[in-house]
Structures are given as C-alpha cells and as structure tokens.
Structure 1
Amino acid sequence: MASVHSLQPPASGHGSSRADRASVRPSHHRRHLGVAVLLFAVTWGCSSGGEGPPATSAVAPGMTATPGVAVAPVTQVARSTGGMVSTASVPATAVGASVLAAGGNAADAAVAIGFVLSVTEASMSGIGGRSAIIVRTPDGEVYGIDGLNQVPAGFSEGEGAEGYERATVPGVPAALEHLRSRFGSWESAPLLEPAVALARDGFPLAGGEARRWNGAAEELAAFPGSAPYIQPEGREWQEGDHVRLPVKARVLETLAIEGIEAFYHGWIADSIQADMERSGGFVTRGDMEAYRALTALPVEGTYRSHTVLSNFRPASGHAVIQALQTVEQLEEGRSAPASRLHGALLLGESLRHAIEDRNRVMGDEASSARHLTSPEYAQERATEIRRSRSFAAAVLAPDQAVPAGRTTAPGPAATATGHALPGAYRASFVPALRYAPGTLVTDPSDREATTHFTVVDADGMVVSVTQSLGPSLGTRVASPSLGFLYATRLGTEPGSRPSSTISPTIVLDPTGNFLMALGGAGDARIISAVTQVIHAAVGRGLSLEAAVAEPRMHPLDEDEMRVEEGPISTWSAAEWDELEGMDLQVAPSPSGYFGRVHAVGWDGSLFLGVAEPRWEGSAAGPQP
C-alpha cells in the first residue's frame, strides 16, 4: 500500500525554493533544450484523428542528451526502458522525451510538456486554464496539486453569460511551477524554451486543432485578441498549416526570463486587469496575486487488490475509485465471470452512480472523501443497482440475459447504427448524435477542451497531469496583448474553485509497485474512460494497449447508455444483438465522442506508452 501524504502548499504559494529541496540534482543536469523549433530526424507530421502520428524522432537544438541515450521514435504506442511520455501532441511528446533523455526527471518533463501544449494544442488547454496533478515519487510518496480555476472575487452571480464574463483566474502556470519547485531538478527557463520557440518560430497544425479552430471561427471572430486562431478572408485551417503565435511567445518568454511569478504579477497581471475592465470581465490584478496552487486532498481505494490513487474535489478521482469498487462488488456476486459486454454494462451502472455522487457532501471534505471511496459505500451502491435495474438483474444472472421470444429480423439498432443486426426485443435505440455512423467528430453541443499527459522516468517518479480550458477554446477570448485563451468559469461563487471531472490517476499492483498512470479528456467521459481502461487492464487482464483500445460506454440520464459504434472501436455484432434484449435506452455514438486517454504502464521490464487511438496522440521514451 502506498503512503499518502497530505502536504501543505509552500509558503510562497508557487513552490518551495530550490534551497529547501533535498533532491536537487547537480547543475550539469540543467541543460538547455534550445531556443529554436524542434528538429525532427524524419518528416514532422501531425495525423488526423485515429490514424496516429508517423514515427518520428526529435531532439532540440542545443540540447545535450545523456551519453548513450537517444529519444525513441514518436508513435501512438511506444516501449522504453528509460522512462516514457504519452501526450495528445507530437511536439509535446518529443519535448518531454527529450527532457528525460537529457537527464531531467518526470516532473521536469511534465512542466515542459504543459507549456508546449499551451502552444500546439491551444484549443484544449493553456496557460489561461486549469490543472490537476498527481505525483508518486520513487520512495512511494503521493502528492496532489490543485491548479483549478478560481472564480474572481468580484464576480456577480447572474452575470457571466458569455465572453469575458466567463473568464476565471488561471491555474496552469502556478500548478506547473508548484510541480517543478517541489519535485523538479531543473530551473524553469530551459523547460519553457521549447514552448517559446514553437510559439515564436511556428509549428505544423494538427488535424484536430484545425477542425476545432475552424468550428469556433465565428465565435472567435467576436474578440480581436483571438484573431491568431482564425484564418483571414474566411479561409479554413488545414492540417499541416504553419502557425506562429508571437504574442503568446512574448508572454512565455517573460516567464522563462523572470520566472512563473511574473504571470501573476507585473505587466501580465496588469494587462489582464486592463483587458477585463475594457471588456466586462471580472478578473483583477488582486485576483491574480492572490492565486495559489494548493495541495490537493488525495484519495485512495482498491480494485481487485490493486491500489488506485487520485485527487479529490475539485477534481473527480474519487468517482473513478467509487465506480471500480462498486463494479467489483457486482462482479463478485455473479455465479460466473462476466462477459465483456456484461462487465461493461455493470461498470456503466456503477459509473452512473459515481458520476451522480461526485459532488455529494457528507460532512467536511475529508469525511466526504473517505465515505465516497469506502468499500462500504460501494456495497450500498451495488445493492441499489441490483434492486433497481431490470437489465442489471439479467446481466447478473446470465441465463436471463436473452429472453425467449426474440425475433431474428433486423431490430431498431439497424436504423440507428447502420448495421443489419438481428433481433428486436426490449431495448430502445436512439440516435445519440447528428452525425452519420462512422464519423469521428463529436456533437458540437458536447464540446470539451481538456488534455491529459503522463510521464514516468527511469527512477520511478510518476506524474499524471490533466489540463483544461473547457469547453473547446475556453471562453473564445484572448487578450490582444497576451495571446492565450481564458478558460471558462464552471461556477458562480466568488473565490471558489468549482468541481471539474478531471481525474489524473495512478494504479499500483498488489505489491505496491507502479503499474500504470493515466487520465483523460472529455468532460464526464473522462471518468468513464479512465475507469474502463483500468477495469479492462486489471479486471480482465488485458494489456494496457488493448485496454485503451477496447470499445466504451458512457451513462447518461437515468436510462440512456452511449455505446461506441466505431469507426475506431466497436462492439461485435453478437454484442449489439444482445444489447437489444436489455431494458435500456442505447445511443450508438462515434468513437470520437468518448474520452481521450493517455497512459503509461510498466510490465516488469519495459515502460509502455499508449496514446488514445480515437484521437491524435503520441508516446515516446529515451532509449539507452
């Protein structure tokens, strides 16, 4: 069992001084990553959704790698003995792996990645956004960081319908600096250099970014500072377009020269306040100066003798733990092992309750955390599921799963999914999305703006980070003098940090050793995707690569279940047929609807990095 420590934030609010840290590496490890764009050994390309990036190698000019260490090719699945990085962006993955190859640790690599993503995946996260981080050190210390957005102190409830009114106090820079100062071995300047270079000199636009920027063009056009994200004269962005963000580069360069504190003080804070005053926003310099990255309340649970670690509110790692412990209770009550479909349905019901419960208050926060992640509460929820769901009863008793009297004619699923599936009994199939079957694009009403990345170094430090703007491109607002997008406010109480579904997670094997770390993007689908990957890997014994690729479900409302129908992953024809026999409203949904997971695992001899196959993403690690 891991030791979990609840530590207080450093007195400075943004991390302890380097002199206070006992684990500072010698100065020869603080290498520069270069001040120009990354140079790739082969063509640097960013793939369209689902196809994955081409195999590439990356180093940065001026970087001195550890002798005999190189960076492995960047792919969607990678293996290494020297550590591993998995992110949603090829440049970010390359930078993170290069930091590890140059002697940096997992915290150093994560900081560099976090800032690069604010450039190369600006629709999903950025320095104007929020962050949740969980760290496990080689000696077993577990530490969480709360860098969630804060509602401005002067916010007036009833306001905040659009634009600047929705903007919040950013948390990402403070969270990354807290991580670096507490666990890193490098100064901040070299870790910011790749992001500065990419913003200043340019990068090839990924296909997913192009689609998201194009989809929000009309809203972005309402704000002059958001102009860098719009093509002139009504043109659309294309995958591979060369993009430069010089205004954002200036901000990042200021942070590299003056330190992260400069984001919350000085000319940047003054610019934010002036922009807000002109445009009806609420964020002030006082809000910026008062912001602190806090120590998160850790949560811990078990699933099949494995330890699951995450952060409590305002993150939602406790929902992942509750769902896993509930489904274990349900599966143990069966007379025979659950099939893949039955296990997924039981997990779906467990997730339905866990997602509903994630903001439930049971005393103070520490008491609520203990209660919601307790085996006793999971047992209560499992009992309710057994009693309340007729389809769950059929799944728990396999001989009742396919009632007599079913037809062999194509059922309602044939119309909804485009598959000629036999059988029609009790399920009601509803079109979940407006898109044709086979599309990878999500419904515009389900826009999300979140990214997750995972880093593990050769010494065993694990860092799992989720960053978000929420929804896609956040408020759509960027200050003309700053260039970064502000995240959307999730609540209305001044000074609060509203709850988010982000759930960075670490899993240990029954002996307490690292097994995997992961997280996701996609609003509440973060919780379901992370939980389903752990369920498939630990509960069904799949490899991490196979577990991430398994078809998914996501519960909605009281009866509806979104069910993945391709094109990246789907259920078998027999499983679709069986679904029609369930007392359930089934909503077939494209692969792109479901959460975007990035994970790193350990198989006893190699680190395995897995990027989400339903979206763009990549993994790479140093190769001794």
Structure 2
Amino acid sequence: MNRAAVGKQAMVVSPHYLASEAGAEMLRRGGNAFDAAVAVSACLGVVYPHMTGLGGDCFWLTYRAGEGRVRAYNGSGRSGAAVDRDCFAGMESIPHRGARSAITVPGMVDGWAAVQGQNGRLTLAEALAPAIRHAAEGFPLSPDQHFFTVKCKDMLGECPETAAIYLPHGTVPAVGDRFVQRELAATLRALVDGGREAFYEGEIARAIVAGLRRADGLLSEADFAAHRGGWEEPATGVYRGYTLYQAPPNSQGFTGIMALQALERFDPAATPYGSYAYYHRMIEAIKLTFIDRNRDLTDPDFHRVPLERLLSRAYADELAGRIDPNRAMDFDSPPAGSDTAYAAVVDEEGNAVSFIQSLYFEFGSGFTAGNTGVLLQNRGSFFSLDPTHVNTLEPNKRTFHTLMPAMACLDGKPRFLYGTQGGEGQPQTQTAIFTRMVDYGMAPHEAVAEPRWLWGRTWGEASRELKLEGRIDEETIRRLSEAGHDVRVVDAYDYRMGHAHAIAIDGDGMKRGGTDPRCDGAAIGW
C-alpha cells in the first residue's frame, strides 16, 4: 500500500486501499473527480463497514474547475417527524446502541445523487460497480475492521441480522479472511436499478422501516421520503493568504477555521516544530473554539450560529490574546464518537472533492435493518434530552455534527484537501496537519505521519486527558505536564489519533497525496 504518491494528472487518498483503487478505476475509465469520489464513498461503505456505510451521513466540499468556486453539500439526516423528547421519557439520555438510537434518516445515498448526479460523467452503475463486486465476492478483512469487531463483539451479537454478517458462525473473522456482504450487494444493485428513490421512497426504505418497526424503532417511511440534503455556502476564513473552506453548521467545521485564524497571530519562525509552544498553542486554541462550538452548534434552522462573529479577524485576535503561554486552560467538553472515514480526489481537469462520512460510533447503532445489509447510524444519540440545551432533540432536526471535510485555496484554486477520522479529534488533527504543510513545509504523507495529540474525553473515559504519542520529545511532554495539561503518553501511531489524509497541489499542478500509517489506506496518483 502506498502511503505517499505524486502525480501530475490525478490523486486519490482514502483509508482503505480498495476504496482508493475504486476511485482510480473511475478516473481511468474517463470519469471525473465526482464520479471517483462517489465510487470511493460507496466502496468504503463495503470495505470499511465499521466506520461508514449506506446507513450513515456525509459532508462534501466540491470544486468544479469550470465554475471556480467551492460548494458544500450537507448530507446529514434529520430526526423523524414523530421523534421528540417524549419518546425517551424517564431516560437521562438517548440510547447509544440499538434500533432506538437510529433516529435520524441516513443521508449518504442522497449525497451520492447530488455529487455525482449533478457533476459526474459516468453512470451510478459504473460508480457502484467496485462496491458491489467487493460486497458480493468478498474482500480480505482489514486489520482495522478486525480490531473493532473484537472490541464490539458483544454489542454486534445483540442484533441477529448484524451478528449474521459481522460474526459469521458466531466468531470474529481473522485478518485476511474473505468477508462477504451479500445482502448489502443486493441493496446496492437495487440502487443501480432504482437510484436515489429506491432508498428513500422505494423497496429499500420499506425494508429498513419494517426492520426498525419490529425492533420498536422510531423512523417512518414518510421520514425517508421527506429527506433532502442540500447545497450550501461553506464556512470560510483566511490563514497566511490561503482561503479556508469548511462545511457550515450543523458541522463543527468552523472550529477548524477559528483555531487557525487565532494561531496566525503567532510567528512559526519563532516556534520550533515539535516544541512545547507548538503543541501548547494549538491545544489551547482548540479548547477556546470548543467553548463557542458547545454553546451554539446545532441545526441552524433551529438556532442561529453566529459565524460572522466567530470567524471574524477581530475575534481571532481576541482568542489569540486569551491563550496563556505558560498555563493550560481548565475546560471540559462532552465526548463525541470517532468512527469516520475521510477521503479526497483531484482530477486532471482541476476538479476536487474533499469528503467525509460516518456511522458515528464504530458500527453505528449496531442495528442492521432487516435483510438490507444496511447498518444504521446512531448519530441522533448525540441530541440532548435537556429542553434548555441548544442541541435538544426535536422533530425534523439535524444534530450537532462532528464531520468536517476541509479545503484550502490560493488564487481561487484548490491547494490543500485534508481531513481525518475522530469526533473531537477532527479539528485538532486538521490544525496540526495544515500547519505542518503550510508553516513547516511538510509533504502530506509527512504531515499525517508525524506524532499526534488528542485532547478531551472520549466515550468510556471520564478524564480530560491530553493524549500524546510517545514519539513526541520527552522535554516537550514534561513541559506540557508542568503547564497543567493532564498528560497521558500513548503508543506510537495510536489508533485513537484517527486516520488522516491529505492532498497538496503545487502551483504548476503537481499533486502530492498522503495517507495515514495508522490505517489500511493508499494514496494513488499518476
């Protein structure tokens, strides 16, 4: 598997080599970046089923060379029309697993229809062909899928349909075993025949809802039929002359812009790479953005998110001024799920797609709907049952979303596409990767392979740790601890740091891609 690639014509990066190959296959067939991106997306839903799939959500940033502008597509689903806090009366929170955690309509298939249907050159059948092939014929089970299947074995066994697929014969498949998903292959073929409508208004929707109904689930056929994603204006900012683009709310993408704009006030020439100041400033900048995010982020149809103020230069100055160079800020943030897959594609025409998709937790809700092979997300479990909370559960509402694909342009053209797996970690890792490429001149594969950090709580952990990979300099670790950070040193290339990938495009059009050594991905360019 190639972790790094260089090419003049095209570049594909993703967390699984078969998905990267699917994208490259579309480009070699004469498709463009939009065809390739959908092929990668669909293939990831098959070969990385613990992270993403048809039952999940997606966010896209797209650039059409002919248009010369970046657009965002929000592929996140809303809660059902009859889903409200009363559905969970007497409970402190929405269940994290099972049919009753699957309370938002999956937005993935709608995203494919929008991105490829409006921009691609190939047919949906061509784009889905690799995914169908791998689902029907099987593929070698990846180390990452094996790891999470072992971790989630008991939960996967609670739903018979899920257990039949992911625990064949009641056991965890070994790394390299042929993993087959015949029901999912049939569902993908139904999409080829019926398109988007088959999933939201046809046989697939009926089968999913019937499966949910048998398990006391809450979504209806009308909820699926009503689903619509939408093209939106991205959130924007500026860092050292680059125009930054992120998906707008309900995505947390604006935090990635806020952190960079605050850090722009500091001179990288006076901040040695890997030093105490390098890590401390990034960590503190992220904490400050999380304060605003936690207060305001939800569906903007229900609550106005004040992006104009949050992304202003004046507010960036204020945030920078609040960073104590010698002391860690005491701050808490709610944990967020981390199961996600990021990928990016650039073609020879200059079209570019940066996208990310997820089931929320690993294996999502753990509930497979009937005989569809579709594992449903549990993204809606992040809604609050507190009626005063900004992200409180209400009907037809999109929840606070961690997914945030990124793109940066110079002189109106894409120069960097980047993103990562990991809920709370996404803005943290994005900030590290982008500054490494822009401020310290690293190639994409170097930027994602360098030691990483992760601040905050994750599910199942009550502490507010600053996890530092052991490859970080011992003196830097010591100083961070002395400054008040709750330091915990973890293994090199720790899985909790997520899977990050990036593409850099030079002024002459040369493309450099890098994928994360923590995953099973590949960068393919030519």
Q: Which runs of 5+ in 2 are unaligned?
A: 89-93, 330-334, 384-392
- Counterpart CA distance in 2 for 1:91 and 1:339 is 34
Matches of 2:489 and 2:409 in 1, distance apart?
34
State which of 474, 497, 508 in structure 2 corresponds to 1:594. Answer: 497
Q: Which letter maps to 1:155?
A: V
Letter in 1 for 2:285: S
How far residue 217 of structure 1 moved from its aligned partner, in angstroms, is 1.8
Letter in 2 for 1:583: G
> Equivalents in 2 of 1:209, 1:358: separation in Å?
31
Contact kept, 8 Å, 1:169 with 1:291, in 2: the verdict is yes
Q: Does structure 1 residue 145 correspond to structure 2 residue 79?
A: no
Alignment of 1:502-541 (within 5 A): 502-509=403-410, 511-541=411-441
Cα distance change of structure 1 residues 446 and 293 upon mapping to structure 2, 3 Å threshold: closer
For 2:130 and 2:341, locate their aligned partners in 1 and report how far apart those are by CA, in whole Å.
19
Tell me which of 314, 317, 320 is aligned to 2:253: 317
Task: Name the structure 2 match of 1:606.
Answer: 510
Letter in 2 for 1:368: P
For 1:123, what is the secondary structure of its paired residue?
coil
Alignment partners' CA distance in 1, 2:107 and 2:206: 17
Secondary structure of the 1:302 match is strand
> Any conservation in 2 of the 1:200–1:246 contact (CA below 8 Å)?
yes
Gaps of 5+ in 1: 1-52, 54-74, 394-444
Report what 1:412 is aligned to. Answer: none
Distance 1:615 1:198 in 2: 19
Task: State the Cα distance separating 1:615 from its structure 2 match.
Answer: 2.2
In structure 1, distance between residues paired with 2:289 and 2:522: 30
Following superposition, the deviation at residue 232 of structure 1 comes to: 4.1
Q: 2:311 aligns with which of 356, 373, 376?
A: 373
Asked whether the equivalents of residues 213 and 229 of structure 1 are also in contact (C-alpha less than 8 Å), the reply is no
CA–CA distance in structure 1, aligned partners of residues 39 and 121 of structure 2: 12
AA in 1 matched with 2:274? R
How do residues 165-176 of structure 1 correspond to structure 2 at under 5 angstroms?
165-167=100-102, 168-176=104-112
Q: How far is 1:452 from its partner?
A: 0.5
1:478 aligned to 2:368? yes
CA distance in structure 2 between the partners assigned to 1:237 and 1:143 by the alignment:
41
Alignment partner of 1:575 is 2:476: yes
Distance 1:221 1:295, change over 3 A: same
- Alpha-carbon separation, structure 2, partners of 1:286 and 1:346: 48
- In structure 1, distance between residues paired with 2:203 and 2:478: 62
Q: CA deviation at 1:605?
A: 4.7
2:417 partner SS: strand
Match of 1:340 among 274, 283, 304: 274
The counterpart of 2:340, out of the listed 450, 469, 476, is 450
| 2-structure distance, mates of 1:233, 1:102 | 39
| Partner residue, 2:191 | 255
Q: Distance in 2 between matches of 1:151 and 1:250?
A: 27
The question of 1:349 aligning with 2:252 is answered no
Q: TM-score, normalised by structure 2?
A: 0.88
State the alpha-carbon separation in 2 of the partners of residues 232 and 195 from structure 1: 20
Q: Which residue number corresponds to residue 121 of structure 1?
A: 48
- Asked if the contact 1:214/1:237 (under 8 Å) is kept, the reply is no
Counterpart of 1:469 in 2: which secondary structure?
strand
* Contact 1:220/1:229 (<8 A) preserved: no
Residues 451 and 466, structure 1, Cα contact 8 Å, conserved in 2: yes
Q: Which residue does the alignment assign to 1:286? A: 222
Question: Which region of structure 1 is more displaced relative to structure 2, 199-208 or 159-168?
Answer: 159-168
> Is 2:424 the counterpart of 1:497?
no
Q: Match for 2:57: what amino acid? A: R
Q: In the alignment, is the contact (CA less than 8 A) between 2:16 and 2:519 conserved in 1?
A: no
Partner deviation per Cα, 1:97-118 (whole Å, 9 max, x = no partner): 1111111110000111111111
Alignment-derived partner of residue 421 in structure 1: none
CA RMSD of aligned residues (A): 2.4
Judge conservation of contact 2:364–2:375 (CA < 8 Å) in 1: yes
Q: Is the 8 A contact 1:349 1:555 kept in 2?
A: no
Shift of 1:328: 1.5
Deviation at 1:261, TM superposition (A): 1.6
- Does structure 1 retain, via aligned residues, the 8 Å contact 2:249–2:305? no
SS of the equivalent of 1:143 reads strand
Q: Secondary structure at the match of 1:616?
A: coil
CA, structure 1 residues 271+322, in 2 after alignment: closer, same or farther (shift >3 Å)? same
Greater CA drift, 577-586 or 245-254: 577-586
Aligned partner letter, 1:118: G
Q: Deviations over 1:127-179 (max 9, x none)?
A: 00000001112142111000113211111425242410011211000011110
Name the amino acid aligned to 1:455: V
C-alpha separation in 1, matches of 2:231 and 2:243: 21
Q: Does 1:112 align with 2:7?
A: no
What is the CA-CA distance between 1:547 and the residue it aligns to?
Answer: 1.5
- Which has the greater radius of gyration? 1
Alignment of structure 1 residues 190-209 onto 2, 5 Å: 190-209=126-145
2:357 corresponds in structure 1 to 467
Deviation at 1:368, TM superposition (A): 1.4
Q: Deviations over 1:441-481 (max 9, x none)?
A: xxxx9863110010111111110110000100000000231
CA distance in 1, matches of 2:364, 2:463: 30
Q: Which amino acid aligns with 1:188?
A: L
- Counterpart check, 1:77 vs 2:11: no
Question: Which amino acid is 1:271 matched to?
Answer: A
Task: Tell me how far apart the structure 1 counterparts of residues 468 and 322 of structure 2 sit (CA, whole Å).
Answer: 26
2:321 corresponds in structure 1 to: 383
Report the 3-state secondary structure (helix = DSSP H, G, I; strand = E; otherwise coil) of the residue aligned with 1:288: helix
Say whether 1:555 aligns with 2:455. Answer: yes
Separation in 2, partners of 1:335, 1:113: 38
Q: Distance in 2 between matches of 1:484 and 1:535?
A: 38
Other structure's SS at 1:128 match: coil
Matches within 5 A, 1:426-441: none
Which moves more between the two structures, 257-266 or 230-239? 230-239
- Give the whole-Å Cα distance in 2 for the aligned partners of 1:311 and 1:183: 19
Say which SS state the counterpart of residue 391 (structure 1) adopts: coil
Aligned: 1:210 with 2:138: no
